[in-house]
Structure 1
Amino acid sequence: MTGSPFMGLDGAVPAEGVDSGVPGHYGNPIVEQRRLERGEAIVDLSDRGVLTVAGPDRLTWLHSMASQALDRLAPGAAAEALFLDASGRIEHVVHVVDDGETAWLIVEGADAAPLAAFLDRMRFMLRVEVADRTPEFGVLGAMTTSALDAAAAAHDPNGIALDWVDPWAEPAPTAHRYAPDAGHPASGWHWIERIVPRAALADAAAAVRAGRVAVAGALAAEALRIAAWRPRLATEVDDRSIPHELDWLRSAVDLGKGCYKGQETVAKVLNLGRPPRRLVLLHLDGSDTVLPARGDLVVGEKVRPEPAEGEAPERREVGRITSSAMHHELGPVALAVVKRAVPADLPLIVESHGIDVAAAQVEIVPADAGAAVDVPRLPRLGVRK
């Protein structure tokens, strides 16, 4: 797979970290954010992976393994699904669009080969065929189809345009939301991912040069994603993550289906307990112009009732940064996963680059998120009333 043609555009600066391989920005990430938010710009997502699952059993087979109802996915409709381990921890995330004969899966680039290998092992005698099509197909992102149309037409096998429309803004009736809908920033997140032949990426870059469409880098897309409280596999997920902690029941889990790996944990945590950790948005003090990195510690200070003179407050780790950005309106912000019991009004500190960065949290998954059903408490044996 050759380098992205977008790297040849004026001002292109390579992205670092999880988005390496595509431009991080083109000289002014803040301006790029505004253009992207207005629906005027496209983003190079050619670092993403593209898998296909063909065959008459493809949708019922994917349905049997994934958290989302996929067995009746209509041609052209979009869905998001998680593949969980037996303990309900997130292993893979897929963005699915079907063309009537083949299911197309957009995944993180680093997850393409592991997911393809997993799916291939699970085929057994079913009529399905799994292929990693990443060398042949790339992905473009935007907030409007008009911006994408100005850059490159979608691949359209069987007359179905392969545009994945993010369901984050409009959850299905079978979804569950921890964060309330009122005031949720998802209302401004209208993300679309378009699958195109890799040869069309050069045409899209040429459209930018010709002025037919603007361009934004990965930093701009990440800033808007963070502001929309939108989780991502490459950033928010670690080896302990379950969907509830990231409010991912909102878009990637159908609570009306069962019998998939990890489903018992999904139901148990939702119905009987609380997520052990929770996703928060952090507004960061920008006076030191430091943006935390993924994995930086989030700590809280415990002040003793009667501290000794000169005694510093005790610091305790309460979570870690998952992603951060400089937003064009909110300023420096970050997503972090913190312990459930951390009070919502507790001032937090991010330890980053040897500097203490003050942070104020906005709850995404509330600290007091309770059970979804009222389970009566049974009396202890031998106790009579």
Structure 2
Amino acid sequence: MASAAPGAPFAAIPGAVVDEAGLQHVGSPLIEQRRLAAGAALAPLGDRAVIAVPGEDRLSWLDSLSSQALTRLAPGVGTELLILDPHGHVEHAASVIDDGETAWLIADRADVAGLHEWLRKMRFRLRVDPRIADEYAVVGGAAAAVERISPTAPSGLPLVWRDPWPDVSPGGHAYAAVDPHPGAERDWAEAIVTRDEEQRIADAATRGELELAGLTAVDALRVAAWRPRWTTDVDERALPHELDWLRTAVHLDKGCYRGQETIAKVHNLGHPPRRLVALQLDGSGSVLPAHGAVVRHGEAEVGVVTSAALHFEEGPIALAVVRRSLAVDAALTVDTADGPVAAAQEVVVPPDAGATANVPRITRLSRRAAAQ
């Protein structure tokens, strides 16, 4: 069996840059983005890990613990869940696919140990037995690209999770009011593969028979799609509403679960205290802001950057969480190692999100189109 160390099988590929998170790139992140978006490349996701949850009570159990309605989840249908604290703050997040015998959770590797430990504590006398499944790896890409590999199928159903973002799942609610949503054309799937299949993919790429993209390219496409992620966009204060995560990870009409009261109150009666924005950064410099970089309006600190990337079409972009009260047309700057950088704000979560506000849809004009 190949090593379970993230990225280890891919270190021999010419041009590969591998770190503790996995394969970062194979020489040209911008080209890798384009090939990944076109379905011509695959991305080994060393920063993702798998938890297997077998047992007869698995779906009703996960339903009772999480923000998502899972009791009737059909085999092969992908969704996602959040584990919230009693005050509705996000503690854990995972993608979910069930094969009829086992529920498979794909989570950020940095979160998987904490999520697994919490699930083990919550078993009580139910027929469930969650375990970290390190014998598997995760590979991502467009659906057509993932079809070219062999996902594991322990119960006969290939374990391929299709990202529902940005469609509004049953019971969900969308705050972003742009049309089209920047993630509308993002085609993303994640396959659970054996370590032997992971090694086969690495060997084929080394021989030049298969194109790979690194985590740098994966994240740039995610940021451009305004897609939240636990590792980067969640802190101890994060509410799903602030990140527009009610779309795909929260069922507003399901039964009771921890944090539900806050979810309902904020959505029906109040407003989230912060809101996610997308930032178009001044492209004249070459330094992207770091995670946690301060966002300013004048001298005032109004938020922090959660994710930043250099996109192959849009240039330097970022996601940031800012004060709800910040004006949507406020002139912003972001702190970087080379000094402040100007940032144009695109509204993801509007200031009046919550209280079931009906926000009119706004036609989105990308920076590239605006320049034509």
Please classify the TM superposition score into its range, dividing by the shorter chain length. Answer: over 0.9
The one-letter code matched in structure 1 to 2:217 is A
* Paired residue secondary structure (2:113): helix
Percent identical residues: 50
Against the structure 1 CA distance between its residues 368 and 102, is the aligned structure 2 distance closer, same or farther, given a 3 Å change threshold?
A: same
Residue 272 of structure 2: aligned partner: 275
The one-letter code matched in structure 2 to 1:10 is P
Shift in Å at residue 81 of structure 1?
Answer: 0.4
* Paired residue secondary structure (2:296): strand
What is the CA RMSD across the aligned residues, in angstroms? 1.4
Question: Is 1:27 equivalent to 2:22 in the alignment?
Answer: no
Distance 1:173 1:62 in 2: 17
Larger radius of gyration: 1
Distance 1:173 1:76 in 2: 16
How far does the alpha carbon of each residue in 1:22-54 deviate from its partner, in whole angstroms, 9 at most, with x for none? 121111111101000101111111331211111
Residue 361 of structure 2: aligned partner: none
Question: Is 1:327 equivalent to 2:325 in the alignment?
Answer: no
Distance 1:330 1:359 in 2: 13
**Which stretch of the first structure deviates more once superposed, 319-328 or 202-211?**
202-211
Distance 2:5 2:328 in 1: 47
Distance 1:58 1:156 in 2: 18
Question: Is 1:5 equivalent to 2:9 in the alignment?
Answer: yes
Q: Which runs of 5+ in 2 are unaligned?
A: 359-372
Against the structure 1 CA distance between its residues 173 and 125, is the aligned structure 2 distance closer, same or farther, given a 3 Å change threshold?
A: closer
Report if aligned partners of 1:270, 1:371 keep a CA contact under 8 Å in 2: yes
Report if aligned partners of 1:147, 1:213 keep a CA contact under 8 Å in 2: no
Report if aligned partners of 1:169, 1:188 keep a CA contact under 8 Å in 2: no
* Paired residue secondary structure (1:333): strand
Question: Is 1:86 equivalent to 2:86 in the alignment?
Answer: yes
* Paired residue secondary structure (2:278): strand
**Aligned positions of 1:35-184 closer than 5 A:** 35-134=35-134, 136-144=135-143, 146-150=144-148, 152-180=149-177, 182-184=179-181
Shift in Å at residue 157 of structure 1?
Answer: 1.7
Shift in Å at residue 2 of structure 1?
Answer: 3.4
Report if aligned partners of 1:279, 1:365 keep a CA contact under 8 Å in 2: yes
Residue 295 of structure 1: aligned partner: 292
Q: Stretches of 4+ moved more than 4 A in 1? A: none
Shift in Å at residue 190 of structure 1?
Answer: 1.4
Question: Is 1:14 equivalent to 2:13 in the alignment?
Answer: no
The one-letter code matched in structure 1 to 2:336 is S
* Paired residue secondary structure (1:40): coil
Distance 1:248 1:370 in 2: 13
Distance 1:102 1:346 in 2: 49
Number of aligned residue pairs: give it: 354
Shift in Å at residue 77 of structure 1?
Answer: 1.0
Shift in Å at residue 354 of structure 1?
Answer: 4.6
Distance 2:21 2:357 in 1: 46
Report if aligned partners of 1:272, 1:373 keep a CA contact under 8 Å in 2: no
Q: Which runs of 5+ in 1 are unaligned?
A: 302-314, 375-385
Question: Is 1:351 equivalent to 2:335 in the alignment?
Answer: yes
How far does the alpha carbon of each residue in 1:94-151 deviate from its partner, in whole angstroms, 9 at most, with x for none? 11111111111101111111111111111011111111112x000000012x31233x
Shift in Å at residue 173 of structure 1?
Answer: 3.6
**Aligned positions of 1:112-261 closer than 5 A:** 112-134=112-134, 136-144=135-143, 146-150=144-148, 152-180=149-177, 182-261=179-258
Against the structure 1 CA distance between its residues 149 and 211, is the aligned structure 2 distance closer, same or farther, given a 3 Å change threshold?
A: farther
The TM-score, its normalising length taken from structure 2, stands at 0.92
Shift in Å at residue 370 of structure 1?
Answer: 4.7
Question: Is 1:369 equivalent to 2:353 in the alignment?
Answer: yes
Report if aligned partners of 2:266, 2:354 keep a CA contact under 8 Å in 1: no
* Paired residue secondary structure (1:97): strand
* Paired residue secondary structure (2:350): coil
